[in-house]
Amino acid sequence: MRTANLAPRDRVIVALDFPTIGKASALVETLGDSASFYKIGHQLAFAGGLALVPELKAAGKRVFLDLKLLDIDNTIRGGVSSVAALGADMLTLHAYPKAMAAAVAAKKASPGATDLTLLGVTVLTSMDDEDLRDAGYSLTASELAARRGAQALACGMDGLVCSTLEVAALRKIVGDSMALVVPGIRPRGSDHGDQKRVMTPAEGLQAGSDYLVIGRPINAVDEPVAAMEAIVEEMEGAING
């Protein structure tokens, strides 16, 4: 699941955070060969965006479905089976042990699901320690991420979604067998928006991240190709030292 042989460009997951398929498709067309991996989240999925999955796959792109599943075991199993049939490359669910165990079981039982990467979401990057206390947790963000990382490893998950601030600690827990996917990436000098635990693309790679999910710094600017190329250049600099 690690990305040692992947070029920096292929480690960037561009978030298609749009209200319509038309706007999402327009960005994909604009980026062309500049991007190879796309994220479809709730906003686009609920606007019919799941229909884009086979289109993107046919165009040689990879697809990350960021749906953050959490439900009873039977519903999780059914959802994972449907996503596997759809052809997506990655799927997220909240890193609760029962949900992760059900997802792993569904993957094993689903024909054609061998290449589906199941990712457990540890702690949302928009949440800090105070937010977790308000939600009823007694653990800090780093402590909760570590616990969920260990639970994901025990359940047989393929990877985790985490803040760059927790990457190094989680890598010690899960070793090299699991992919670490990091949202909340902001190029130096860009607006953090509603993200509270962020790093730059270079810092994200240096911390040990495998994939970087990048949204507004690419999808909300006037020149997305130039933005993408600048991010890739920064990543190459981080890798090459």
State how far the Cα of 168 lies from the Cα of 216, in Å rounded to an integer.
25
The dihedral through the CA atoms of 82, 50, 152, 94 has a sign that is negative
The tokens describing 192, both together, are: 């953090």
State how far the Cα of 25 lies from the Cα of 6, in Å rounded to an integer.
25
State how far the Cα of 162 lies from the Cα of 169, in Å rounded to an integer.
11
State how far the Cα of 228 lies from the Cα of 39, in Å rounded to an integer.
15
Side chain identity at 169, as an amino acid letter?
A
Set 39, 57, 68, 107: catalytic member: 68
Q: Which residues have C-beta within 8 Å of that of residue 37, sequence separation ≥ 6?
A: 10, 11, 12, 13, 14, 61, 62, 63, 64, 89, 211
Q: Strand runs (DSSP E) across 5-52, as ranges? A: 12-15, 37-40
What's the burial of 206, exposed, middle or buried (CB within 10 Å: 0-12/13-18/19+)? Answer: middle
Degrees to nearest 5, angle at CA 154 with 153 and 156: 65
**Annotation says 68 is catalytic:** yes
The tokens describing 43, both together, are: 């906003």
Do β-strands 90-94 and 62-69 pair in parallel, antiparallel, or remain unpaired?
parallel
Length of the chain: 241
Which positions are catalytic?
Answer: 68
